[in-house]
Every structure is written in structure tokens, then in C-alpha cells.
Amino acid sequence: MSKTISKRFQPKFHVKKNDLVEVISGEDKGKKGKVIEIIFGKERVLVEGVNIVSKHTRPTAQYPNGGIIKKEAPIHISNVLLVNPASGKGERTSIAVENGKKERVFKQSKKSK
């Protein structure tokens, strides 16, 4: 039972939807992909092409033959890092205020996204 959380109470995460991220631990360590969805209540993210699982389905109107469907499963948000476009590697980020706006800054290179 996952409830939607009011924007006011949503936790702040270091990644956003459509960010390019790298998996830093687990079976898919080193793989890169785009964030499809963030599940705030469970602190998990869906990453394109990462953590693929097989789901066995019965025949329905949508899938008349049924069978096995491969799809992404969520992974914990602590297992991904934002990819720095300059270096192409996953790096930690921090929030910095520049010109009155908050921006994500890569800690290793000190450059904003």
C-alpha cells in the first residue's frame, strides 16, 4: 500500500526523474541508466535497463497469450549516484546556492550539473 505524499512532506533526494545515474552496489554494479520513476514512500528508484526481473502473467485482455514479461524492479536510492557529464562517472553531489538559486554541484569536480 503505497500512499502519495504531499509535496510539503516529500523527502529530498539527490536524483530526479530523467537523470542519468550509475549503480554503485548490487548485482548491476557499474551499469548506467535513466531514472524512470522515484518511489518516495519507499526511498526507491526505477532505473532504465537495471535490475530486470521476470514476471509470469496469466492470459488477459492486454496479454492474450500470457507468458513471461521482463521489466525493471526498483532499487534503493542509496545504491545510485548521479553521472557527471564531464567525466562520465558517478559522483556524489551537494546543494549550493548560486545567484539565489539552489543547484546540484559535483563534490569531486566542484562543477554544477
Nearest to 23 by CA among 79, 91, 74: 79
The pLDDT, as a whole number, for residue 3 is 65
Model confidence, pTM: 0.81
Residues whose CB is less than 8 angstroms from the CB of residue 85 and which lie 6 or more positions away in sequence, other chains included: 20, 113
Mean pLDDT, the chain cut into blocks of 10 residues (113 residues total): 68 91 95 95 95 93 88 96 93 91 88 72
Q: Three cell numbers at 7?
A: 509535496
The pLDDT, as a whole number, for residue 79 is 96
Q: Where are the domains of the chain?
A: 13-83
In contact, 79 and 64? CB cutoff 8 Å: no
The pLDDT, as a whole number, for residue 12 is 84
The pLDDT, as a whole number, for residue 1 is 53
How does DSSP assign 45-64, residue by residue? EEETTSSEEEEEE---SSST
Q: What is the CATH number of domain 13-83?
A: 2.30.30.30
- Residue 96: φ, ψ to 5°: -130, 145
